[in-house]
């Protein structure tokens, strides 16, 4: 299946939005290992957001790999081109955790 760069951007944007939601929840709830930890609704909300991000990122990765093969380039080069347009949410949040 042929993919376009615009399709990759849309998938990257969607995955980044899900990633940002995970970062927002982590910031709002604090570390799960803090005294008292997270309550059940917080844990469920975070896990649901994390799974959504993970699934979107996995699908994006597969599409990026296919696109790179179609274009005769590497996945890393395609990912770098995407990040020129859409900065990594980790950079905006000042963290390297994912």
The DSSP symbol for 86 reads: S
43-78 residue pLDDT tens: 999 999 999 999 999 999 999 999 999 999 999 999
Report the percent of the chain where pLDDT is more than 70.
Answer: 93
* Rg, Å, the chain Cα set: 16
Q: For residues 46 and 23, is the Cβ–Cβ distance under 8 A? A: no
In angstroms, the first-to-last Cα distance of the chain is 30
State residue 46 phi and psi, 5-degree precision: -65, -45
Nearest Cα to Cα of residue 46 among 61, 60, 30, 57: 30
The residues near 88 (Cβ < 8 Å, ≥ 6 apart) are 16
Q: What pLDDT does 98 receive?
A: 44
């Amino acid at each position: 299946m042929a993919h376009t760069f615009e399709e990759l951007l849309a998938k990257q944007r969607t995955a980044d939005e899900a990633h940002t939601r995970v970062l927002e929840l982590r910031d709002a709830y604090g570390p799960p290992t803090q005294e008292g930890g997270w309550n059940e609704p917080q844990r469920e909300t975070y896990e649901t957001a994390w799974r959504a991000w993970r699934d979107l990122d996995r699908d994006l990765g597969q599409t990026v790999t296919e696109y790179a093969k179609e274009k005769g380039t590497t996945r890393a080069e395609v990912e770098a081109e995407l990040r020129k347009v859409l900065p990594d949410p980790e950079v905006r949040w000042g963290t390297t955790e994912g």
